Amino acid sequence: MLDASTSPPFQPGIFDDQLTEVARALLAQAVEAEVADFLGRHADLKTRDGHQRVVRHGHLPEREVMTGIGPVAVRQPRVRDREADAADPGRIRFSPSILPPYMRRSKSIETLLPILYL
């Protein structure tokens, strides 16, 4: 029989195992692949000075998305359109389909995994 003092207490919703780490890594890779594809589609656009018009511009603040296996921390890459002002309706914007702007919860990891494999 296990001694209660040696086993960690069970905390619902908090998992820290290899499967959770794989899910986090897959989500990060999927978002990075999506931004790389977006930048590739706009690679031919140039500024008046001849520089890339659409470029990476760091990351948004980290946020947690609640999934079926617990909270998953994600960092969404930023993309900047060098030619357009913030108020310009023609400005090129990046919004990942995997992580919609205000997504904070997913019904389960089963909802995200098929998207990650695309």
Q: How does pLDDT run across 8-29, given as a tens digit for each residue?
A: 444 445 556 777 788 778 888 8
Higher confidence at residue 86 or residue 15? 86
Say which residue, 66 or 90, is predicted with more confidence: 90
12 assigned to some structural domain? no
Determine contact, residues 84/94, Cβ cutoff 8 Å: no
pLDDT at 7: 45
> Does residue 10 sit within a domain?
no
Residue 45 falls inside a structural domain? yes
Please check whether residue 39 lies inside any domain of the structure: yes
Query: pTM for this one?
Result: 0.67
**Residue 69 belongs to some domain of the structure:** yes
Q: What is the mean pLDDT of residues 64-74?
A: 76
Domain assignment present for residue 60? The answer is yes
Question: Is 6 part of any domain?
Answer: no
Segments forming the whole domain that contains residue 89: 18-116
Number of domains present in the structure of the chain:
1
In terms of Cα–Cα distance, which of 51, 39, 27 is closest to 93? 39
